Amino acid sequence: MGTFRTCRPLLVDATQCKEDQTIATDLGFRHIKRGDWVVRGEDGECYVVDDAFFQRTFTPLQSYPWESTTEPRSYGA
């Protein structure tokens, strides 16, 4: 196994789950625990990642006070 880096920044929409639930993803149904993140990619693909991985990998885009703060938020990788 090697170490890899993305060739370009990715913009994704991410929402942190507030309660346990099950959602449909590209790979089938996934159970999500409270605190996990649902990440939707540029092509609409859907992933579930835990909070520790999300915090290490993604950073929020700059937002301004006059912009709406409703979820989901866009994050860059």
Question: Looking at the 3D structure of the chain, how many domains does it have?
Answer: 1
* 6 within some domain: no
Q: What amino acid is encoded at 63 in this protein?
A: S
pLDDT of amino acid 5: 64
> pLDDT digits over 5-61, tens only?
666 677 888 999 999 999 998 889 999 999 999 998 888 889 899 999 998 888 887
Q: What pLDDT does 37 receive?
A: 93
Structural contact between residues 30 and 20, judged by C-beta atoms closer than 8 angstroms? no
In angstroms, rounded to a whole number, what is the distance separating the alpha carbons of residues 48 and 34? 12
When comparing pLDDT for 4 and 47, which is higher? 47
**What span, in angstroms and rounded, lies between the C-alpha atoms of 54 and 75?**
10
- Determine the pLDDT at residue 18: 94
> pLDDT at position 57, please?
86
Question: Does residue 5 lie in a domain region?
Answer: no
- Residue 63 has φ and ψ, to the nearest 5°, of -125, 160
Question: What's the pLDDT score for residue 43?
Answer: 86
Range(s) of the domain holding residue 28: 11-76
Tell whether 32 is covered by a domain: yes
